[in-house]
Amino acid sequence: MLNIFERMVEPDRKILQDPKILDIFVTEFKEAYRSGPNGVTYEEKIYAKPWGFNLSDISPELQVYLWHGGLDVNVPISIGREVCDLIPNCKGFFYPDEAHLSIVFKNFEKMAEILKNH
């Protein structure tokens, strides 16, 4: 059986070595699958279908922030950059040495400060 941690890139594996963060991850993972896999499967399908609007149609009056790790294997950074380019008033923060989970846990205070001051 393949261990989920074996498939993770180093920044995500490292962040999950913190018992508090690992507990959060396990709790959220269990909650996502509590009613079975249908909810998770449905959410994954949403990303592959048209959303019914163009990102370029988002009002330029809205400030949008996007954070993305360059080592994210779940969502490649090229997608993050493209999304940021398509949204009219998007400020992108790209961290080349972060991944899918580590981007949030290692930069949470910076993210919160930016959103608080907006």
| This prediction's pTM | 0.82
> Scanning the structure block, which residue is given the tokens 């913190």?
18
Q: From residue 34, give the alpha-carbon distance in Å to each of 61, 88, 90.
A: 39, 38, 35
For 60-106, write each residue's pLDDT tens digit: 999 999 999 999 998 999 999 999 999 999 999 999 999 999 999 99
What's the DSSP call for residue 86? H
DSSP 16-39: TTSHHHHHHHHHHHHHHHTT-SHH
Query: For the segment 3-23, what is each residue's pLDDT rounded down to a tens digit?
Result: 777 888 999 999 999 999 999
